[in-house]
Amino acid sequence: MSLAVAVLMDPIRSIKIAKDSTFAMLLEAQRRGHRLLYMEQGALAVRDGAAWVRMAPLEVFDDANDWFHLGEAEWRPMIEADIVLERKDPPVDGQFIYDSMILEMAEREGVRVVNRPQALRDCNEKLYSLHFPQCCPPTRVARDADTLRQFVAEHDQVVLKPLDGMGGQGIFRSHLGDPNLNSILETITVNGSRLAVAQRFIPEISAGDKRILVIDGEPVPYALARIPQGEDFRGNLAAGGRGEGVPLSARDRWIVEQVAPDLRRRGLTFVGLDVIGEYLTEINVTSPTCIRELDAQFGLNIAGLMFDAIEKSLT
């Protein structure tokens, strides 16, 4: 079954293919004989109530010196694609939301969008995990600095972060008596105008912030533990963390079991759970990563598992 697979992503010319999960998906789609189509965020439009897109034929090569060839981009109805991989990185801002609405039009026309546009709008990666409080550490979400200070006073060691960051950006570790606390709260709440998250600090971060990939509700059997380096408490690879593959623990699998039914219900085919110690801290739905690292360490084909699930859903 040959399909037209379109991808909405950040500029392909600037990716690092050794670590890019979207690139792994494109390689697998091409290996299966699917036709690749490429689009960026500015390429979506609506004509007479139908989703249109300026997209170009794409070929990909697992070569760090020459990893893609693009044909000429043309405006086409999005219905000409069988599958759209929505892989635009955060922030989930106004333009991201509007794009998801256009993709939802394409979905109604019969295009399979991964992940489902409504779920991308509904499931903020910091807040969605809190739908499963049995899995999460003590957490407070507020705009009000006094509320967040009270949480710090209650738990002493905390992590503070905005709702719309990625790659460890804008994350702070603080504690009771921290002379920088007021400044941190002003920064992450933008002087009380935006919601921010406070979570109790989890010391097990020293063993890594595990990324567990889940495909149609089923976990990949290994996670990538992103281990902080030096004096930085953040494990994110973008913040300098070191990635080490580890088998899932019994607790990891229990967390997946708690979350999986809702992932399936919402049409979240490919997600990344972040687990530190015994606790779920985030559910990544926009553009989860770590495919390439886990494939390399364990001889897996995670993108193959994802396409197996997508193709099965189309039959």
Q: Which of 87, 211, 266, 292 is an active site residue? A: 211
Token reading at 313: 């859903």
C-alpha 82/C-alpha 110 separation (Å) is: 8
C-alpha 301/C-alpha 247 separation (Å) is: 16
Catalytic residue list contains 265 = no
C-alpha 124/C-alpha 294 separation (Å) is: 25
Contact in structure between 198 and 158 (CB atoms under 8 Å)? yes
Which 8-state DSSP code applies to residue 65? T
Mode of pairing for the β-strands spanning 270-276 and 279-284 = antiparallel
Q: Which of 226, 236, 252, 292 is an active site residue? A: 226
Q: Which of 126, 200, 210, 292 is an active site residue? A: 126
Closest CA to 276 of 220, 218, 211, 188: 211
Which 8-state DSSP code applies to residue 78? G
Length of the chain: 315
Q: Which of 210, 234, 266, 292 is an active site residue? A: 234
Closest CA to 9 of 36, 33, 39: 39
Q: Which of 284, 292, 293, 295 is an active site residue? A: 284
Catalytic residue list contains 226 = yes
Catalytic residue list contains 161 = yes
For residue 97, the surrounding DSSP H or E stretch is helix 94-109
Catalytic residue list contains 88 = no
The residue assigned the tokens 């699930």 is: 309
Q: Which of 161, 200, 210, 266 is an active site residue? A: 161
Q: Which of 282, 292, 293, 295 is an active site residue? A: 282
Catalytic residue list contains 143 = no
- The conformational region for residue 147 under phi > 0 = left, psi -120 to 50 = alpha, else beta, is alpha
Catalytic residue list contains 62 = no
224 CB neighbour count, 10 Å cutoff: 27
Contact in structure between 297 and 247 (CB atoms under 8 Å)? no
Positions marked catalytic = 126, 161, 211, 226, 234, 274, 282, 284
